[in-house]
Structure 1
Amino acid sequence: MQILHAATPDAYRAALRDHPAVLVDFHKDNCPGCRMLDMSLASIADSPRAAGIVLLKVHLETIGDVFFRSLGLRQTPTLLLIRDGQEVARMAGYQSPKQIGEALASLMPA
């Protein structure tokens, strides 16, 4: 799994445009669920289900609350699964490695 970071809305949109399968991780500082989610993401990063998927890390304090809310997001952590620029799924709160792996399967073509 390739890991990218988006610090601006333009960088976010460019990553979605440039990569067909993206798992977006919206996170912030002082968020226990975000730290737990990082461990889940790290545990599946090298798994076969993560092959070909880009993990786009978006730090809420950097990108800004206005952009975050413009996407209809309300809490961190939130994962978005994006396929060919379109949102496939949204997962709010902590997700286990198993839940993430199952969601990643929906990103890749059959």
Structure 2
Amino acid sequence: MGKYDLPLTFRLGLAMDVYKDRYFRTTAALDATHPNDNTEYVNTGVEFAYDEMFMFRLGYKSLFLRDSEQGLTLGGGLKYQITDQFGLMLNYGWADYGRLKNVQFFDLGLMF
């Protein structure tokens, strides 16, 4: 059998609230990735939040990745605080994954 190196990835990410007031927040994020088995790429996105309860997300995956089939991503979420210590999150996401066409993601989260 041949000898193969294990995959290794270095990632550096930054996020910043570019706008924030009593009800609205806009957060921008950038993530640069250097894998040892592929070309470098960048993920970028923005999240718009209203009252920290309703979120809308827009992003782009794998910028500069050679032969990438990933691209535009869209999504949204709801956050409901039941008590000071406990809450629920429901998120939906859509992504363009080339051959897989329209990929959809759902998740339900508990905050405690």
TM-score in terms of structure 1 length: 0.29
Larger strand proportion of the pair: 2
Larger helix proportion of the pair: 1
Structure having greater relative contact order (Cα 8 Å, sep ≥ 6) = 1
Bigger Cα Rg: 2
TM-score in terms of structure 2 length: 0.28
